[in-house]
Structure 1
């Protein structure tokens, strides 16, 4: 099986198997055709296949008559801001984000800096499958690819959104693990500008990923050690392209990725009250925080495009997902780990309350996750079978994205992954024993 995942987050796969240079050229030509051969910005992360895929993407865009601006290695949120700044028709981020090194992906961004929505993604896919691309004549192809600095623009936007002087006055000590990804070029620089003493590890973009680029407690052992040894006020862990943020407290405790959003929401709502947007899989902790401040939680299907559009529609003060992605609308309505850092450090600087004390204020619930690898052609038949079993048992359920089964003392969510060929099972309950019962209940039915 050579899985290729095409969906709301773009197209991704294992390089040398399903994800090939021919595929990258074809999708770049399709995107260039979709945007009528206009200006497009391109960036990549640090994984080994990046230069190859970058060359293929630029070739496809040039063949379609596009003007290409190369941002080099930079976080995806930096590209998203640059898309608007450079008045580009769109952008392509070459990154598989939290996936391991062998994966790569193309993420497609529209002119407002947000990802293509579901309808726009389908239109692009139709062009790709039809294979009828714009073809610039020999004398119409652009002969150069311009370069630009998106990281500097990103830092300027961050400075304008947060109280830099207050953060500087606290002289916080911050540990950071950039996973040798694109954040190595942004986050240490951002922290130094904020007057922090920076304890950086894995901040070499020329080195391989030292561990999985998914910022979860399982990948934070080194960061925990740095926080403890350096007596840091907080530690931050990043994925490969600057969207997800993991947190280690001042006590050296790695927080579950599900806590990043409710922590950020608590901080945000103390100063600005309004709706918070998240997806249907996110922990009920966010509902607890929202009730405390008397605001609404808007739930969407899983995926950044859904979060972004709901934030704009409802004038939300914050958005995010349980994966650790946070969207601060003053920067842009899309996940940005550097913006999340600014939000958290501003709170630590203004009030003498540690990150561990903040985390203790959140309700104690148990969330368990389990992935079932499934052949791509069986994903939706497996989901349909599970849905039929749920309906036959007359259980209350929500079909916003996959099947979310609602019990009086917890819930189960079963859905197809947006990024890999697997079924994701997420359960939550007040008691750990009940959560284990629910995960076993769901696993038994997914396997039938």
Structure 2
């Protein structure tokens, strides 16, 4: 049995050779046997294969004795929301996020929407799948569950309706599921939405919804300029990530959004803890301190950040990869809460998004994440550390290696899934230095790679 769809954090693979209804049915049975769940939320994304896989998954869950609460076509965060809001034992979202259209997968959570990954149950589920199964003495029951209204009410609770003023906002759902939520939110907000690639369509007529790819950004940027919009927002297929464009159509690096959201949240809460990843940090540290909060660094990756947020009772957590986590959202990531908070800030401040962001880019210019294919990543990272740690102010190993000097710093880390090394460089108000050090490090990595 091909179980290659099981990854470190979730399941993803090609349909039907790596994931299909027969396998999904067995995964449902294994999920119940390993977790002991009795009430499970099931939702699915816009992919053409998703309804059939979700149905087979539900059959397996019920055969093993669990009741299935089917929330239908949705985003990953609605499974998170429903699992915690309705106090279920677990939830499974059928999605392959931004993978190619012939792929599918699953994201699994336990009680309180705690992630199930390879270090807390996912490997056990995988290992249980090929073994024989017996039906439970009593089959689970099936119940459709409407969650959109409770979910939309929850989202609206993050902003003060009284300060919202009319704004024109371009929204690009990428033919994923985000458009369905925008249509619901629209009735409660004074915003004029310019909707592009709005209809859910698993054929992905405008390409796979992945706004982080530069070639996918122009359509949102052009619409912002054409419509004179205050900002643009684009989502991936299951809308757990959102990406921002300012009023000039410029794509904004996720790093600067983390600082903006941390600041906005801390203003509301009057302090609290904020979790951030180690790749780029200075802007976030600066804003969190100024807003009376405490910044705490965590290893990159949703399972690590969610756990650290729970441990610290943090109000907000952000990754530069456009994942944003919220304490009141079961410590889970949402692609809807961030843009609501940014829109609220625009209304409150009367400032443009570019003016809010430009000051931060000038204070802490960053390279953005640069990936290099490296034959022996540990060896190259060790050699870079040996060279650059001499005279460094601080060396940290929270995730890969972070090396800090008075006026610039960098983080170098391995990918979890491919032979790629990821580099991020930032400086203090010195763009030429940031660029110079970025080129220097890339050249050194290339040189070391050739020596391997």
Instruction: Please give the range of the TM-score, normalised by the shorter of the 2 chains.
Output: 0.7 to 0.9
What is the CA–CA distance in structure 1 between the aligned matches of 2:388 and 2:373, rounded to whole Å?
27
> Where do 5+ consecutive residues of structure 1 fail to align?
none
What is the CA–CA distance in structure 2 between the aligned matches of 1:406 and 1:8, rounded to whole Å?
30
Q: Where do residues 12-411 of structure 1 align in structure 2 (5 Å cutoff)?
A: 12-116=12-116, 119-120=119-120, 123-131=121-129, 132=131, 135-137=134-136, 140-142=138-140, 145-167=142-164, 170-206=165-201, 208-209=203-204, 210-216=206-212, 218=214, 219-271=216-268, 272-364=270-362, 365-371=365-371, 382-390=376-384, 393=387, 395=389, 397-406=395-404, 409-411=408-410
What is the CA–CA distance in structure 2 between the aligned matches of 1:193 and 1:200, rounded to whole Å?
17
1:321 Cα shift? 0.7
What is the CA–CA distance in structure 1 between the aligned matches of 2:217 and 2:440, rounded to whole Å?
28
Residues 233 and 63 of structure 1: CA distance in aligned 2, closer, same or farther (over 3 Å)? same
Residues 70 and 406 of structure 1: CA distance in aligned 2, closer, same or farther (over 3 Å)? same
1:317 Cα shift? 2.5
Give the length in aligned residue pairs: 433
What's the counterpart of residue 445 of structure 2? 442
Residues 53 and 444 of structure 1: CA distance in aligned 2, closer, same or farther (over 3 Å)? farther
1:235 Cα shift? 1.1
1:159-214 Cα shifts (integer Å, max 9, x gaps): 233212322xx122111001111212112321342121111111111353323422
The residue matched to 2:65 in structure 1 has which SS?
A: coil
- Kept in 1, the 8 Å contact 2:280–2:410? The answer is no
Q: CA RMSD in A?
A: 2.8
- Kept in 1, the 8 Å contact 2:280–2:425? The answer is no
Calculate the TM-score normalised by the size of structure 1.
Answer: 0.87
1:9 Cα shift? 2.2
- Kept in 1, the 8 Å contact 2:209–2:235? The answer is yes
Residues 392 and 354 of structure 1: CA distance in aligned 2, closer, same or farther (over 3 Å)? closer
What is the CA–CA distance in structure 2 between the aligned matches of 1:401 and 1:22, rounded to whole Å?
38
1:393 Cα shift? 4.4
> Where do 5+ consecutive residues of structure 2 fail to align?
428-433
**Larger CA deviation: 196-205 vs 292-301:** 292-301
**Larger CA deviation: 191-200 vs 276-285:** 276-285
What is the CA–CA distance in structure 2 between the aligned matches of 1:181 and 1:148, rounded to whole Å?
21
1:323 Cα shift? 1.0
- Kept in 1, the 8 Å contact 2:402–2:409? The answer is no
- Kept in 1, the 8 Å contact 2:42–2:71? The answer is yes
The residue matched to 2:91 in structure 1 has which SS?
A: strand
1:2-28 Cα shifts (integer Å, max 9, x gaps): 994644421222334434445433332
